[in-house]
Amino acid sequence: MPTKSRPTTALVFGQQAETLQPHLLPPPLQDTESLSSDDFVLSASSSSSAPTGTATAAGGDSHSKVPSARSGLKTISDSLNQDDQSSESSDDADGRLTDTESEQVRARTRTGTPVIAGRTNNHHHGTTEHGTTTSSALQSLREIEEHDHEGRQTQLQGLESRFRTTTLVAQDQDLTSDGGDNQLKVLRPKPSSGSVGNNSLSSRPKSHLQRTASMKSYDSDDISNNHGGYQKHYGDEDHTTSAWTEHRKHFFILSSAGKPIYARYGDESRISSYMGVIQALISFFADNDDTLRCINAGEHRFVFLLKAPLYLVCVSRSGESESQLRDQLGYLYAQIISVLTQSQMTKIFEQRNNFDLRGLIGGTEIFLDSLGKLMNTYPGFMLGAIQCLTMPRELRDKVGAVLGRAKCKPLLYALLVTPTQLITLLRPRTHSMHPADLHLIFNLLSGSTTFESSESWTPICLPKFNNKSFLHAYICYIAKKVCMLLISPDKDSFFEMSSVKQKVVEGLEAGGMLASLENYAAAGTRGGFSVGDTGIPGLRHFLYKSRVNVQFTMPELTEPYATTTARKRLLRQYQNMNERMHRKTRPLKLLFHVGEQETLLGWVTSGFELYAAFGPLVSKSAVVLMSNKLLKWIRKQEDSLLILNSPSFEKFK
Amino acid sequence: MASRKKVLLKVIILGESGVGKTSLMNQYVNKKFSNQYKATIGADFLTKEVLVDDRLVTMQIWDTAGQERFQSLGVAFYRGADCCVLVYDVNNAKSFETLESWRDEFLIQASPRGPENFPFVVIGNKIDMEESKRMMWDQTMTDLRARSDLDIYIYDGVIEISQKRAMAWCQSKGNIPYFETSAKEAINVEQAFQTIAKNALQQEVEVEIDFPDPIKIDSDTSKDFGCAC
């Protein structure tokens, strides 16, 4: 391998700039980040300069292919004064930039005022058919719970059945007609040690009882099928098949002993030789107290994230940057932590560094798969921000008030989401929720359809909140595409959560809100609003991130971005822009990019980030004009596009 | 369930350069043998699925370079091994004598839990030594035989490291299973690796999993990420 090692200052970019902003998503790998200056990169090709066609019109230092128009759009590339934008402004465009910034500051102060929207009469106690079904099923569930409780005494703790699943079909046939909710399902962690004092492993008998019990529950519903009969896509491939090498982006997760844990494509045990090679490479550098971060070889980029006892590696020719790929590895790592907790995983590998982790994360590979997919389509990961469902603020506030009033003691967070968009979130005043944790929740919901048909109760670790322990999530769809999540630190609070849901559903129905929520959610799944709504001809699509709120919004992806390929391509374009603008060595505030198929503008200020796509033949001055117009439109719509004041429970006391 | 997935075993092969580590692995995995000697650079990796006591296991075989100059793979390389195979050449006394240091080196670097019980397997390879070579060895060894301090003797015209001596050593190290093989003629290779897999499986003991303590929520544990949600 023609390799050349040299300090990475030129190749490590991007995220460091972000870590300065505490409200942004910090890459979940700071401990390794700090090593960067000592690290080396194996590099077969030199680091690439700005993509072709990119015009960075900075003083003298530019690859200007587009003649600098007199519009005076200026790219400020001084890396040190990122916030000192106004001092640089001397011409028209910059003057307007400052204008809009102050406008934005005003918008921010506006959001500070708490809004308690018109109260609705939502404590109406009409028992709907829907409600009855659930409650009758609930009662049966309670019986099962009691029965279970006895069983628990005799059952020994077994790690292979971290989830125990009970399924129940409501007996009342008359009520099963209203679809979906007749099935109740409880995912519950096994009781922690204690009921039976025998904890030692070697002496732990594998009782026949336990075996059959868990076998049975595994076969009894679809979640458990995920555990056992998980059919991996591309599972038949391995390194000998050409299809395997054709994939553009591979993810590998292995233990620091070199044992395979997960491969995005192919059977991880059949490609375990590659895992060995990866471990040998890492070990070679580790022997000199060095850390392998990235290898660039031709069009392939190998990115390493070392989170002992796990190693995560991405091999990609997708064109994404090193830091973007490392962020994605960080999300995969977080997904594994959300299943195991950091403390549990560390403890396991301290006990046995030859541990085969696949047994423990078994059944959750689908969520690693879906995360891989989601990161290719959903810009929230790149932006470190979450998307909110577009809906009128009054409705959002009303819905939030219903949630707020349903608060019970063990309830920590209450969320309403369409699988990947936030409707509203209620939280304690002292605890906000990190976008990275929300992304895990979005992935959990979009990764499996199993939650759509039942009430579920599952342990989940939200690493940014607390990576040492589990929270417990009550998950239930209260309408089509409208999912309620109630998160509690108490593992025995399923029934309390279930009754909170009941209260909320009644409240929403009474106020007639459930139907409109469902409509907005349906519209939101398509995209929420269209680019035509902005009234700006020539604008094809945009991403707008409010850095203050850590949220973003974007219009529906319509022609010419209707196909999956086109969407992916557009996201890659945004990623390139994002990478270039946040590059550590020379971050940019403005970037005008003329591509083959579209013209793009990137614009980063301390308050927002805007990436907008226009037709390929639009002039620079027109782009500036339209972008300012777009910003004005966003400001006007901001309170329905974003959640400007997330309510806390304390407000409703 | 833990056993639903095939267990994966990490097996490390160690020994002097030229004793036939790669040949053994190739014979076992690919059923191939080549007389041509190619030094392993760094390490080679092969994967093989085997059935052990009705259990399908994946063996991840880590073949290492014998040469000193390639032994820079680092401490982490040996970490988490389930079995270590020590290979020597029955026709080469020196390769036997270094087994001790290979074993010690491994135990230091891999630092397994309970080193005294860690599964090793010793393989004496090249029991097929060809006739001409034998003759040559024969002569040398006849000369050497005069020296009483060497524990080498002639056995059926083939000079070997005394099987007795090798077995005695294995016994002194906690009854390490011992095999004499020929990678070339595929003698005993299958049996040796079967034992390797079987003993490695013993390392696959379940770990103790406690459910972590629940989170206590109070305002002291305040988490504010600065975002509005």
Residues of A in contact with B228 (CB under 8 A): 111, 432, 548-551, 643-646
Please report which helix (H) or strand (E) contains residue A338, including its range.
Answer: helix A322-340
Minimum distance, in Å, between the CA of residue B1 and any CA atom of chain A: 4
pLDDT at residue B78, rounded to an integer:
87
Residues of A in contact with B217 (CB under 8 A): 412, 428, 431, 489
| pLDDT, tens only, B170-206 | 999 989 999 999 999 999 999 999 999 999 987 766 6
Segment A560-587 mean pLDDT: 92
Cite the DSSP H helix spans in B20-130.
21-30, 75-78, 93-97, 99-110
Check residues A144 and A504 and name the one with the higher pLDDT: A504
Which of A159, A548, A646 comes nearest B209 by C-beta?
Answer: A159
- Cα(A254)–Cα(A258) distance, integer angstroms: 6
| pLDDT, tens only, A332-383 | 999 999 999 999 999 999 888 888 898 888 889 999 999 999 999 899 999 9
A470 touches B: beta carbon within 8 Å: yes
- Cα(B162)–Cα(B149) distance, integer angstroms: 13
Nearest CA in chain A to B63: A276
Which of B45, B73, B204 comes nearest A273 by C-beta?
Answer: B45
A252 touches B: beta carbon within 8 Å: no
Residues of A in contact with B5 (CB under 8 A): 269, 356, 358-359, 362
A422 touches B: beta carbon within 8 Å: yes
Q: What number is the ipTM of this complex?
A: 0.80
| pLDDT, tens only, A275-299 | 999 998 998 888 888 999 999 999 9
Which of B8, B49, B227 comes nearest A435 by C-beta?
Answer: B227
CB A391 within 8 A of CB A398: no
Is A256 in Cβ contact with B8 (below 8 Å)? no
CB A156 within 8 A of CB A196: yes
Per-position DSSP letters for B89-113, written without gaps between them: ETT-HHHHHTHHHHHHHHHHHH--S
Q: How does A559-581 read in b/e, with b if 16+ C-beta sit within 10 Å?
A: eebeeeeeeebbbebbbbbbbbb
| pLDDT, tens only, A228-265 | 446 677 777 777 778 888 899 999 999 999 999 999 99
Residues of A in contact with B25 (CB under 8 A): none
What percent of chain A lies above the pLDDT cut of 90? 47
pLDDT at residue A4, rounded to an integer:
40
A108 touches B: beta carbon within 8 Å: no
Sequence-distant (≥ 6) Cβ neighbours of residue B34 within 8 angstroms: B23, B26
Interfacial A residues in 365-394 facing B (CB < 8 Å): 386
- Cα(A638)–Cα(B149) distance, integer angstroms: 92
Residues of B in contact with A19 (CB under 8 A): none
Q: How confident is the model at residue A647 (pLDDT cuts 50, 70, 90)?
A: confident
Contacts 24+ apart (CB under 8 A), B33-36: B33/B183, B33/B184, B33/B186, B35/B184
A550 touches B: beta carbon within 8 Å: yes
pTM of this structure = 0.72
- Cis preceding-peptide flag for A560 (omega within 30 of 0): yes
- Cis preceding-peptide flag for A309 (omega within 30 of 0): yes
What percent of chain A lies above the pLDDT cut of 70? 64
Tokens linked to B42: 């760094």
**Which residue, chain included where needed, has tokens 């909710």?**
A181
Q: How confident is the model at residue B14 (pLDDT cuts 50, 70, 90)?
A: very high
Segment A497-509 mean pLDDT: 94
Sequence-distant (≥ 6) Cβ neighbours of residue A628 within 8 angstroms: A96, A100
Interfacial A residues in 223-242 facing B (CB < 8 Å): 227-228
- Cα(A138)–Cα(A476) distance, integer angstroms: 13
SS3 sequence, A67-91? CCCCCCCCCCCCCCCCCCHHHHCCC
CB B9 within 8 A of CB A256: no
Return the axis-axis angle of helices A494-510 and A393-405, rounded to nearest 10°: 140
Residues of B in contact with A290 (CB under 8 A): none
Interfacial A residues in 486-545 facing B (CB < 8 Å): 489-491
Q: How confident is the model at residue A163 (pLDDT cuts 50, 70, 90)?
A: very low
Segment A102-116 mean pLDDT: 38
Q: Rounded to the nearest 5°, which phi and psi values hold at A614?
A: -120, 175
Cite the DSSP H helix spans in A341-417.
342-351, 358-361, 365-377, 380-383, 393-405
| pLDDT, tens only, B61-96 | 998 887 765 566 777 788 899 999 999 998 888 899
CB B60 within 8 A of CB B9: yes
pLDDT at residue B130, rounded to an integer:
56
- Cα(A192)–Cα(A501) distance, integer angstroms: 27
Residues of B in contact with A160 (CB under 8 A): 1-4
Residue A505, pLDDT > 80, answer yes
pLDDT at residue A73, rounded to an integer:
40
Strands A471-479 and A454-460: antiparallel
Q: How far is CA A618 from CA A321, A423, A454, B9, B133, in A?
A: 27, 36, 50, 60, 81
Per-position DSSP letters for A12-48, written without gaps between them: --SHHHHHT-TTS---S-HHHHTTGGG-EEEESSPPP
Q: How far is CA A107 from CA A411, A424, A636, in A?
A: 32, 20, 10
| pLDDT, tens only, A387-415 | 999 999 999 999 999 999 988 889 999 99
